[in-house]
A and B are shown apart, each in its own frame.
Chain A
Amino acid sequence: MISLQLALQRPGFALNVALQLPSQGVTALVGPSGCGKTSLLRAVAGLERAAGRVQVGSQLWQDDAQGLWLPTHRRPLGYVIQDSALFDHLDVQANVLYGRQRGGAAAQDFALDGLIELLGLAPLLARRPGTLSGGERQRVAIARALASGPSLLLMDEPLAALDAQRKAEILPYLERLVSQWRVPMLLVTHAMDEAARLADHLVMLQAGQVTASGPLLDLLSRPDLPLSRLDEAGVVLAAQVDTHDGPYGLSHITVPGGGLWLGRTDAPVGTTVRARVLARDVSVARVAPQGSSVINVLPVTLQAMQPEGHTVLLRLRLDGPMAAQAAAHVLARITRRSADALALQVGDALFAQIKGVALM
């Protein structure tokens, strides 16, 4: 368990959080800029002096009650920021070794080769940071942080400085890292798609306060949270690839409570993938539509409705062959007029037509 109780006062801003986070996997901290995401991360690292308590697993890094406060260099953490902060006077290899040489036993615990392989750094080792692209720099920064053998990896908008192409180039590395490296990560981001792609756990911050904290898949499908108010509101489903349909160029994935067709993916049959369904791509009908071009039509139960202006956001539980409590949810955004015309009530059995499914 990672337990954080931190309070920080700055002119015109106050951070006040109490969080219990899983000590495995990725926790994403999301929220508008200025909400305190970065301050929170810096306070955990000891770069900012906040009041409170920081515990990571069995290690206590700060406890005001005992007068304990470890300076940053005595906290076994890794920290990656937006612009890499590589040491220009050292080559890539020396950058990566910097933390490893100082990390003590934890840093010697694993072979460096695996890390270099994982992040694809072998061809870059002799280069100077000044000659690297933004994406390469960020991979070096991540390797440098991990090579010190951290108990917690803190990442502050690691992809924000990169253009879409570089982002697409580095995301697979991050995903491999997340699945192979057993270090818990705290990821600050303002990009929901990044959080949806990488995180298991989500913390939402607003004006220095936690507005929600919980497993990603739960939070994304809750209509009452500000997440759903975004145009890109939607859900991320953990799915398994089960068939490829070559002639039609389609693949079929199974999610708890249903199955979905999508454009042919390269992921082999049996792999677990994350599929994203946006609320604006989902519509509902009282009877199973006939002669529709939409190939994904699933029986669902309406679980919640949230009016927003002229639209209504619906939370729908998939009603496929699966125990109801384990079933996946999707969100649908429809007009108020449609909601009234259909006289929708919570508990209604409906059919969801899903026009778009994207693998992440």
Chain B
Amino acid sequence: MSAADWLAVWLTAKLAGLTTLLLLLLGTPLAWWLARTRSRIKPLASALVAMPLVLPPTVLGFYGLLLMGPQGPVGQFTQAMGWGRLPFTFSGLVVASVIYSMPFVVQPLQQAFEAIPERLLEAAATLRAGPLDRFFSVALPLARPGLLTAAVLGFAHTVGEFGVVMMIGGNLPGQTRVLSVALYEHVEAGELADAHRLAAGMLVFALVVLLALQALRRRMDGEARVQP
């Protein structure tokens, strides 16, 4: 594989890793809120989070471009803060990926939180645990399988994005030229051998990740049930 392709692999891993980390930090409280709230705006919030599931990525990319562009509100804000413009930069890609992969992280987490029986949190409250304490000592450990699924799905989905990258990131080596874009470029240029190496690599990666995930979940289930 060429140095340029290795750069694309590294860039993709960096983008997916950073996106997943940010999503776990932002998505966990959001999922917790969605799982427990009785607020009237919950349906709207749920729908907004789920949007990237049904929206064509190019539509997302298009609006992202407009918002982050020099005339857009986000663009004006980032410029005013002295951070420059986001489109066609790695940071812009991270911001777009966070939104694009949001449902893949928030939904498994939300389901995991919803599956925790209310009586366990009440039991923690009767044992003097305050709200934050209950979240960290009961909810989060019990949602561990959901947390794992969320992280894997968020990572894998970010690795696979293409439409959003094309609209917002373009194709700058070391900046925005991620794996999927590099693959597309090889195919366009008729370099099928290079394309194969990237495509097959991703195929194997996906398979390994899914197998590892299953093994881990089995072990977690076992830990919860069987005496060590």
Contact = CB atoms under 8 A, between A and B. Distances in A.
A98 B127 contact: yes
A189 B122 CA distance: 20
Contact of B123 (A76, A85, A131): A85
B125 interface: yes
A89 to B, nearest CB: 4
B82 interface: no
Given A87-B138, A88-B224, A128-B225, A103 B120 contact: no
B224 A145 contact: no
A73 B227 contact: no
Contacts of A74: 128
A73 B123 contact: no
Contacts of B225: 128, 130-131
A112 to B, nearest CB: 14
B64 to A, nearest CB: 39
Contacts of A72: 122, 125-126
Contacts, number: 80
A85 B117 contact: yes
A99 B127 contact: yes
A73 B125 contact: yes
Nearest to B120: A85
Interface in A63-90: 71-74, 76-79, 81, 83, 85, 87-89
Interface residues on A, range: 20 to 34
B124 interface: yes
B224 A79 contact: no
A182 interface: no
B142 A88 contact: yes
A144 interface: yes
A148 interface: yes
A89 B124 CA distance: 13
Given A47-B122, A89-B141, A98-B124, A73 B129 contact: yes
Contact of A102 (B128, B131, B223): B128
A85 B127 CA distance: 12
B215 interface: no
B141 A79 contact: no
Interface in A333-356: none
A127 interface: yes
A278 interface: no
A139 to B, nearest CB: 15
A45 interface: yes
B133 interface: yes
B125 A77 contact: no
Given A73-B125, A98-B137, A130-B224, A87 B120 contact: yes
A127 B124 CA distance: 20
A128 B125 contact: no
A249 to B, nearest CB: 43
Nearest to B121: A85
A17 to B, nearest CB: 21
Interface in B106-125: 117, 119-120, 122-125
Given A89-B224, A128-B224, A130-B225, A71 B125 contact: yes
Contacts of A154: 126
Contacts of B117: 85
Contact of A89 (B130, B133, B142, B227): B142
Interface of A: 45, 47, 71-74, 76-79, 81, 83, 85, 87-89, 98-99, 102-104, 126-128, 130-131, 144-145, 148, 154
Given A88-B142, A154-B126, 11 more contacts: A47-B122, A72-B122, A73-B133, A81-B119, A87-B120, A89-B142, A98-B124, A102-B128, A128-B223, A128-B227, A131-B227
Interface of B: 117, 119-120, 122-131, 133-134, 137-138, 141-142, 144, 223-228
11 contacts: A72-B125, A73-B126, A73-B128, A79-B126, A85-B119, A85-B120, A89-B141, A128-B224, A128-B225, A131-B227, A144-B127
